[in-house]
């Protein structure tokens, strides 16, 4: 009896698969996933705004320092012009002061723009923070609901898994491996009995090609259906 245990396993496993599908497709699962993505989105936005606010603030502080330094430079010219007799020299100083003043005006303009951008970012931060708090509450509620839904099914899941674990030692490793990979890709049932006289796959109902038929002549033979990838086997009964 090469396949009776895996067939028994497959039959019991169908209920576990059904429970897993029920949970995966449930409304509470979708609500939970949506709440999580909203919370993740708010958290990411908060992080971005925080970085932007920090960068802006650093830029603003640097500009203010530069403005103060330029103002101090202008202050150094105080009194100098009073002592200058030569017109050419006076013009030279005046040009220097004008150039510095223009720099200050430009920097102040830039600093003001940064300041209003900082205000905007702060407003956006506050708003997103409030959304984040709400998203966090919604996430916690959805998680509780989801966990309760899963929890209700847990005793049955545990029971089924115990039955499956008890069967496992009697199933050849290669057959188990094949089964698990088909299960993972949701190709169920994985093992289907094949009648060498009919030459039809019992899973996808396609005609089995000759080279596959050749592998499925005697009791205990098994081969993959080239169409649906299910495992066809010849019963030993």
Strand order in the sheet with 231-233: 191-193, 231-233, 222-224
- Our CB check for Zn ion shows the closer of 60 and 194 to be 194
Q: Does 196 sit behind a cis peptide bond, omega within 30 degrees of 0 on the bond before it?
A: no
**Whose CA is closest to 202, among 193, 210, 211, 215?**
193
Pattern 178-217, binding to Zn ion, x per CB under 5 A?
A: -----------------------x-xx-------------
Candidate ranges 40-48, 50-58, 110-118, 227-235; the one touching Zn ion (CB under 5 A): 227-235
Candidate ranges 61-69, 144-152, 179-187, 226-234; the one touching Zn ion (CB under 5 A): 226-234
- For residue 206, the minimal CB distance to Zn ion (Å) is 5
- Our CB check for Zn ion shows the closer of 189 and 230 to be 230
By CB under 5 A, is residue 225 in contact with Zn ion?
Answer: yes
Q: Please, which residues have CB within 8 angstroms of residue 219's CB and are 6 or more apart in sequence? A: 234, 235, 236, 237
- For residue 230, the minimal CB distance to Zn ion (Å) is 5
Backbone angles phi, psi at 193, to 5 degrees: -70, 140
- For residue 6, the minimal CB distance to Zn ion (Å) is 17
DSSP output for 106-170: HHHHHHHHHHHHHHHHHHHHHHHHHHHHHHHHHHHHHHHHHHHHHHHHHHHHHHHHHHHHHHGGG
Tokens describing residue 123: 């407003």
- For residue 201, the minimal CB distance to Zn ion (Å) is 3
Contacts to Zn ion by CB under 5 A: 201, 203-204, 225, 227-228, 230
């Amino acid at each position: 009896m090469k396949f009776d245990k895996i067939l028994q396993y497959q039959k019991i496993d169908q209920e576990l698969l059904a429970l897993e599908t029920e949970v995966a497709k449930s409304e509470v699962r979708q609500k939970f996933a949506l709440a999580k993505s909203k919370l993740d989105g708010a958290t990411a936005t908060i992080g971005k705004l925080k970085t932007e606010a920090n960068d802006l603030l650093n830029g603003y502080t640097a500009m203010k320092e530069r403005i103060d330094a330029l103002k101090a430079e202008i202050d150094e010219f105080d009194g100098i012009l009073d002592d200058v007799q030569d017109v050419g020299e006076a013009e030279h100083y005046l040009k220097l002061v004008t150039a510095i003043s223009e720099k200050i005006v430009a920097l102040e303009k830039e600093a003001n723009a940064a300041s209003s951008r900082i205000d905007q970012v702060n407003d956006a931060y506050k708003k997103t923070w409030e959304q984040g708090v709400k998203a966090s509450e919604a996430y916690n509620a959805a998680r509780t609901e989801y966990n309760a839904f899963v929890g209700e099914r847990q005793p049955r899941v545990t029971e089924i898994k115990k039955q499956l674990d008890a069967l496992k030692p009697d199933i050849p490793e290669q057959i188990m491996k094949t089964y698990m990979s088909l299960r993972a890709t949701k190709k169920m049932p994985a093992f289907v009995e094949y009648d060498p006289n009919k030459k039809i796959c019992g899973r996808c109902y396609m005609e089995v090609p000759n080279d596959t038929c050749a592998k499925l002549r005697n009791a205990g033979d098994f081969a993959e259906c080239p169409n649906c990838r299910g495992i066809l086997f010849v019963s030993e009964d």
